[in-house]
Amino acid sequence: MSDDALTTLRALECELHQPCVPGSRQRLVELLHPEFQEFGRSGATYTLADLLEHLPAESDPVEVHAQDFAVRKLSDAVVLLTYRSAHVNLSGALERHTLRSSIWLLEASGWQMVFHQGTPTEAFAQNLNEPPLVPRAES
């Protein structure tokens, strides 16, 4: 899989971490496949319809650190993206460490996530060499 695909999918995945995206019905429909399913870190299961029905109201945004992205081609139009993430608390420390995996499909309109899973994991050291995420939108 090319570095361009990894860069593109990393950016799309990280876009979903931004506080404005989960509240944007249109952008969720663009990024998430109609058959989207998630096995959340909590063990709960979500579909696209669930996410759209319960769009978050304005709340305190959570800063997410993500690193160690890897992509594996499953077919010409299907890839598996894996990485580690953690929430950044007010003091800058990482907490809620999670292993993440997403399956992305290349559709005529572009990449769409069809499956995502978050699994709690032990703490990991922050990789300071990881390229920075897209800057968070200011409220």
Give the pLDDT score at 24: 81
For 98, the token pair is 């999670």
User: Range with the lowest mean pLDDT among 17-21, 68-72, 110-114?
Assistant: 17-21
pTM score above 0.95: no
Dist. CA 133–CA 15, nearest whole Å = 9
The mean per-residue pLDDT over the stretch 30-58 comes to: 88
What is the Cβ-side half-sphere exposure of residue 111, based on CA atoms within 13 angstroms?
21
SS3 of residue 118 by DSSP: strand
Q: Cα angle vertex 5, ends 38, 3, to 5°?
A: 130
Give the pLDDT score at 134: 43
Q: For residue 58, is pLDDT > 70? A: no
Domain 3-120 has CATH 1.10.10.60: no
